[in-house]
């Protein structure tokens, strides 16, 4: 098995799609220059809406649209696989869209996609923040494993990180690397983000590449940032704490294979009733 490099992009998107895509393009090129073969973009990379209704206004049909066409072109131009964070994609329900992560190969073709399963409907009393993603988004109902020339990749999105059973299912389906586009709030991120990412890696002896929004947004949100790549032993290989930029690290599949063989906790699981 050959090693390869993955990069995670960190930005602070706003409601202007063109401006967000221009900045995204800059960091995709930096990832290419760093030797990455796979780039992970954060949740809502193309639009962090001023209000939830904007996601309905700028939704795209799956397979076509300004955002998808842009990522397709970037993948082809830079010879990269790109996991396009999340994009608001039309559904068959009125005034509802999917929060969909779309995977493009290095030819600009859509290979796979994943609809966010766990929607962020919470009240954060300490900061008086209220989120109701289910007002505009529809929950997905299936996991996704992506076959790539590098390895099998699982996808999870932001709030999914708090549900370990999803990551275990991805591991059981053969995932070597799990990519997590996210936009964690500053408050919850400071408390839990790094612990959750490292825990999901340790539990599954898996690489985790978590690409996060980071900074202040026009809609009043502050996101935590701290995009990071973690190895199957839970060690942080690279982290971007503040500001826009990228993190890049090598994925060593032989290391992972040997670790799973010599420390076979995944084989020691018992069915408990």
> What integer best gives the mean pLDDT of the chain?
96
The pTM is what?
Answer: 0.97
**Greater pLDDT, 255 or 53:** 255
* 85-89, 120-124, 147-151, 212-216: range with lowest mean pLDDT: 120-124
Backbone angles phi, psi at 19, to 5 degrees: -65, -40
pLDDT for residue 1 is more than 80: no
Cα 242 from Cα 187, distance rounded (Å): 15
**Greater pLDDT, 50 or 158:** 158
Domains of the chain: 4-267 (3.60.110.10)
Q: Tokens for 226?
A: 């701290």
Catalytic residue, candidates 8, 37, 43, 74: 43
Q: What is the mean pLDDT of residues 79-90?
A: 98
Catalytic residue, candidates 60, 116, 151, 179: 116
pLDDT at 127: 82
- Whether 8 is a known active-site residue: answer no
Split at pLDDT 50, 70, 90, the class of 50 is: confident
- Whether 158 is a known active-site residue: answer yes
| Percent of the chain with pLDDT strictly greater than 70 | 100
**Greater pLDDT, 130 or 74:** 74
- Whether 43 is a known active-site residue: answer yes
Cα 40 from Cα 42, distance rounded (Å): 7
pLDDT for residue 144 is more than 70: yes
Cα 250 from Cα 230, distance rounded (Å): 10
Split at pLDDT 50, 70, 90, the class of 15 is: very high
- Would strands 207-212 and 222-224 be described as parallel, antiparallel, or unpaired? unpaired
pLDDT in tens, 162-213: 999 999 999 999 999 999 999 999 999 999 999 999 999 999 999 999 999 9
Q: Which residues contact 124 (CB under 8 A, 6 or more apart)?
A: 130, 131, 185, 187, 188
pLDDT at 271: 83
pLDDT in tens, 233-253: 999 999 999 999 999 999 999
Catalytic residue, candidates 59, 60, 74, 158: 158
pLDDT at 167: 98
């Amino acid at each position: 098995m050959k090693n390869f490099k993955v990069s995670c992009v960190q930005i602070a998107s706003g409601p202007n799609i063109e401006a967000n895509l221009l900045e995204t393009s800059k960091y995709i090129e930096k990832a290419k220059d760093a030797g990455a073969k796979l780039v992970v973009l954060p949740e809502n990379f193309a639009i962090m809406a001023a209000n939830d209704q904007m996601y309905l206004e700028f939704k795209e049909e799956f397979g076509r649209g300004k955002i998808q066409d842009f990522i397709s072109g970037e993948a082809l131009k830079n010879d990269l696989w790109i996991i396009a964070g999340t994009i608001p994609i039309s559904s068959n329900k009125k005034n509802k869209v999917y929060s969909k992560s779309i995977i493009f190969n290095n030819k600009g073709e859509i290979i796979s996609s994943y609809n966010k399963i766990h929607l962020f409907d919470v009240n954060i009393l300490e900061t008086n923040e209220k989120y109701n993603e289910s007002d505009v988004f529809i929950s997905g109902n299936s996991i996704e494993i992506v076959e790539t020339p590098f390895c099998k990749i699982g996808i999870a999105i932001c709030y999914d990180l708090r549900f370990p059973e999803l990551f275990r299912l991805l591991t059981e389906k053969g995932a070597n690397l799990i990519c997590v586009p996210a936009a964690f709030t500053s408050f919850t991120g400071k408390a839990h983000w790094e612990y959750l990412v490292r825990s999901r890696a340790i539990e599954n002896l898996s690489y985790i590449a978590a690409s996060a929004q980071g900074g202040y947004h026009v809609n009043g949100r502050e996101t935590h940032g701290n995009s990071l790549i973690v190895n199957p032993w839970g060690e942080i290989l690279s982290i971007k704490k503040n500001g826009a930029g990228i993190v890049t690290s090598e994925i060593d599949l032989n290391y992972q294979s040997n670790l799973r063989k010599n420390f076979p906790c995944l084989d020691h699981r018992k069915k408990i009733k």
